[in-house]
Amino acid sequence: MNPNYLVFRDGCIVLATLGLYSVLYRENKVFRFFEHMFLGLAVGWAVVAMWTEVLFSTWWVKMIGTADKLGHHGQPGYWAWATLLPISFLGYLVFSKKYNWMSRIPIGIILGLWAGQQVQVWFTQYGPQFADSMRPIWPNTHEFTRPDVTGISGPALASIKDTVYGSQAIDNVIYVVTLLCVMSYFLFSFDVKQKLLARTQTTGRWLLMIGFGAIFGSTVMMRFSLLIDRMSFIFIEFVKHDVLRR
């Protein structure tokens, strides 16, 4: 590839990056220009990705079927999938004052299918968490730490997994206490007058704040990771490698 083209391409990326980061000073026309450019490119990419990654494989191929290069039939097509096209176009009638009620048909179908799937998704995601919250808090062996399971398989590995060691029991106690304290904080249906329960709720509130702080800290670090990556591209890949070496 032409080196001059690479320098021009990287220069455009650097200019767009600096234009977007100019909002840190204040909102300006340069930022708005690159913001609208980014949104336009994102929408165009999303339209292409919607067809190539979603509609083509899950709708078009199932409707027309597949065949190899020699014309031999592969997967048969089912033209009943074509009925989804006019149903989906009904959604655009939301812009019509007279027929906007018809736009609720595809919306209702999507919401119904989504609601049915969410029941299974919810249980798949949170069901294992319910089971994991019931942890044993008493060790059943005199050993404190769990041995290394590298190279161990079969009944020996199953026996190690079923054993609750001292260090695991301590972790489980901290987990169960944290769970009970946090759950007690959400008991808003009655007035808490007992000192033990009130202190438990206070502990749960502090534990929630610690958890939220850790989440916020990881979010900030992720933003810094993006900033470091962009600055590395500007000052190392572009300035040092592309500009200074020329």
Each domain of the chain, given as residue ranges in start order, spans 1-70, 78-132
Going residue by residue through the chain (246 aa), what tens digit of pLDDT does each one get? 667 777 888 888 889 999 988 988 888 999 999 999 999 999 999 999 999 988 888 888 888 877 655 555 667 778 888 888 888 888 888 888 888 899 899 999 989 988 988 888 888 888 888 888 888 888 888 888 888 777 777 787 788 778 888 888 899 899 989 988 888 888 766 677 778 888 888 899 999 999 999 999 999 999 999 899 988 888 888 887 766 666
Whole-structure pTM value: 0.59
3-state secondary structure of 136: coil
Three-state DSSP at 232 gives helix
- Give the whole-angstrom CA distance, residue 18 versus residue 76: 52
Residue with tokens 């949104």: 39
Question: Token pair of 212, please?
Answer: 């939220």
Alpha helices in 104-237 (DSSP H): 104-132, 155-162, 166-185, 195-232
